[in-house]
A and B are shown apart, each in its own frame.
Chain A
Amino acid sequence: MDIIKFLEEFTTEKLSDNKTSRREMFGSLGTMGKKAAMAAVPLGLASMGNKAWAAPSMMQGDPISALQLALLLEYIEADFYLKALESGVLYGHAKAEGIYNQISKHESAHVSLLQGALGDEAFDAPKFDFTVGGRFDPFGENGDMNTSYAQLLAFAQAFEDTGVRAYKGQAENVMGDPAILTVALQIHSVEARHASEIRRLRGLEGWITGNERGAGMPEIAQAVYVNEDNVIHGGVDVTTLGDGDPFSFESSTQAYDEPLTSDNAGEIASLFLS
């Protein structure tokens, strides 16, 4: 999937050569973001020099597209958590606020890491619409804080479970670079920690049963859980490996998270592009 082209369908801005606003983006992330970006320098891809970037083939399967998809998803998450924390919707929910603060820190760091790894192949953050065309009000703009709080938690669950699946779906595309693969895995497991905690905060289990999106999740979020009910891994049907609870359909689907294709992840992301 060509992420740049994909984004251009949603915006009139030229995303790929807007250096000034990228600097502003860095500035708005503050010094922590800059430090994290510096820390990302040894990653390899950025140090390959401009030549390696000259003609990236934008098919599914190349590492640059994989990292660009990751950057898009991290932009969504980072922006979402910053706005959530500024919204006031978490007021009076100390535990949720503590969780969102911790997650926000990680997602902003992931943005900086990926920008550093992508170098000139990075793009600026597009504008997001977390109302999904007016259907939701997660930041309490209409004043119904209880509804907004529930939506704020539901969105976080959808973003985190999507993140886990999307990174997994890109693993093979970055296999050729061990350093990049390892960093992608190190982000992937953090997204899974986030997902588990947000789900538990919502009263669900930390893991996904079947392809259930879980109580209170809007129907539009079902795209996040497509194929999560798979029980066959490497040709092995894990429900047939023994008797009892560990091999039930429920346990067997909980025990394995499924990858998401670039197209599916892009479709989910596109819901939030304004």
Chain B
Amino acid sequence: MERKKIAVATINGSERRKFLKMSGLGLAGATLFYACEKSQTDEMPDLDMDGPFDLGEGDLGVLNYAYALEQLEAEFYTRVVNGSYWSGAAAEEKNVLQALYNHEVNHREFFKAALTANFDGDVVLPENLEFDFNSVDFNNRDSVLTTAQLLEDTGVQAYNGAGKLIQTGAYLVIAGKIVSVEARHAAAIRSIRGGDMDDFALFAGDDIVDPTTGLDKAENPSVILAAAGGFIVTPFTANKLP
């Protein structure tokens, strides 16, 4: 059950900094993560013959993908509950963010357990992926809440888009058990932010739920990983997922 070594060593320091700076929070930098990966392998093919970890295909690929996203969310909330905004926050916000921390850590450990129980260690995404939250000020309420909203909305779109890639019914149901909780989270964070501006519809605002069809968004892994790429330091690829 030996785990694959994380290929951090293949990342060139200045390239990495440039990449992080460019990709940031926005969804606009959609291809940066992949562009960065590609240039790394093109320029330095000798440093790691295996290349970065690939999530794989089918159920394995989707579970690894979910594990990566849950690691990201869990790490974000771990930093939130260790930040000064949270420690001084109003009781309701404090409770909501602590609950989100609890849930995401639980999800992360669930995927680790499910993956290691069902797949060989060398195809399971490593634990302790490295993340970069330099773009977030954990002492600032607005910065924390807007990032939380982005991550939760992204999680919902990710699971909604990944459902069709799942081959085993039992895994689909489990993804369903989790995605609705991500949506509950997204609505709660949006509700807090909506309260600030008397926007009582923000919990399921027209910016995220299409007002004509009543549908949430669904995106493929390539779109989601590109959008989240600004937070992800440890390189991995999703070459076998759409």
Binary contact readout B219-239 vs A (1 if CB under 8 angstroms, 0 otherwise): 000000000000000000000
| B215 contacts the other chain (CB 8 A) | yes
CB within 8 A of A105: which of B96, B179, B184, B211? Answer: B211
- Taking A35-B212, A241-B110 as given, write out 9 further A-B residue pairs in contact, using a Cβ cutoff of 8 Å, ordered by the A residue number: A97-B200, A188-B179, A189-B180, A196-B183, A234-B171, A235-B117, A241-B106, A252-B106, A254-B103
CB within 8 A of A185: which of B169, B176, B186, B190? Answer: B176
Q: How large is the interface on A (under 10, 10 to 19, 20 to 34, 35 or more residues)?
A: 35 or more
Report if A106-B187 is in contact (Cβ < 8 Å); known contacts: A193-B209, A259-B176. no
Report if A193-B186 is in contact (Cβ < 8 Å); known contacts: A109-B212, A207-B99, A241-B109. yes
Verify B181–A255 contact, CB threshold 8 A: yes
| B191 contacts the other chain (CB 8 A) | yes
| A257 contacts the other chain (CB 8 A) | yes
Between A and B, how many residue pairs show CB distances below 8 Å? 209
Q: Bound state CA distance, A200 and B95, in angstroms?
A: 12
| B213 contacts the other chain (CB 8 A) | yes
Verify B180–A168 contact, CB threshold 8 A: yes
Output the least CB separation between A91 and chain B (Å): 15
Verify B177–A256 contact, CB threshold 8 A: yes
CB within 8 A of B102: which of A188, A200, A206, A251? Answer: A251
| Among A234, A238, A252: residue with most chain B CB under 10 A | A234
Chain B 144-192 interface residues, beta-carbon cutoff 8 Å to A? 156, 159-161, 163-164, 166, 169-174, 176-188, 190-191
Q: What are the residues of chain A within 8 A of B98 when measuring CB–CB? A: 245
Output the least CB separation between A227 and chain B (Å): 12
Q: What are the residues of chain A within 8 A of B171 when measuring CB–CB? A: 234
Q: Bound state CA distance, A235 and B186, in angstroms?
A: 28
Q: Bound state CA distance, A153 and B29, in angstroms?
A: 42
Q: Bound state CA distance, A197 and B148, in angstroms?
A: 17
Verify B114–A101 contact, CB threshold 8 A: no
| Among A102, A246, A258: residue with most chain B CB under 10 A | A246
Q: What are the residues of chain A within 8 A of B86 when measuring CB–CB? A: none
Chain B interface helix/strand/loop/mixed: helix
Task: Give 14 CB contacts A-B under 8 Å.
Answer: A99-B200, A99-B203, A164-B180, A181-B163, A182-B218, A189-B159, A189-B180, A196-B203, A197-B191, A206-B96, A206-B184, A234-B171, A238-B110, A248-B102
Chain A 187-221 interface residues, beta-carbon cutoff 8 Å to B? 187-197, 200, 205-207
Verify A257–B181 contact, CB threshold 8 A: yes
Verify B179–A185 contact, CB threshold 8 A: yes
Stretch of A18-26, A141-149, A171-179, A262-270 that contacts chain B: A171-179
| A132 contacts the other chain (CB 8 A) | no
CB within 8 A of B106: which of A36, A95, A255? Answer: A255
Verify B218–A194 contact, CB threshold 8 A: no
CB within 8 A of A238: which of B106, B164, B205? Answer: B106
| A51 contacts the other chain (CB 8 A) | no
Report if A259-B216 is in contact (Cβ < 8 Å); known contacts: A101-B201, A200-B191. no
Verify B102–A258 contact, CB threshold 8 A: no
| B214 contacts the other chain (CB 8 A) | yes
Verify A236–B163 contact, CB threshold 8 A: no
CB within 8 A of A196: which of B110, B170, B188, B216? Answer: B188
Q: Bound state CA distance, A47 and B102, in angstroms?
A: 44
Output the least CB separation between A245 and chain B (Å): 5
| A107 contacts the other chain (CB 8 A) | yes
Verify B187–A193 contact, CB threshold 8 A: yes
CB within 8 A of B181: which of A94, A178, A236, A256? Answer: A256
Q: Bound state CA distance, A69 and B169, in angstroms?
A: 19
Verify A251–B103 contact, CB threshold 8 A: yes
Output the least CB separation between B81 and chain A (Å): 10
Output the nearest chain A residue to B179 by Cβ-Cβ distance. A189
Verify B169–A175 contact, CB threshold 8 A: yes
Output the least CB separation between A136 and chain B (Å): 25
Output the least CB separation between B66 and chain A (Å): 12
| B67 contacts the other chain (CB 8 A) | no
Across the A-B interface, the 5 shortest Cβ-Cβ residue pairs:
A98-B200, A109-B214, A192-B183, A106-B214, A192-B180
Verify A190–B215 contact, CB threshold 8 A: yes
Report if A205-B99 is in contact (Cβ < 8 Å); known contacts: A192-B180, A195-B184, A196-B183. yes
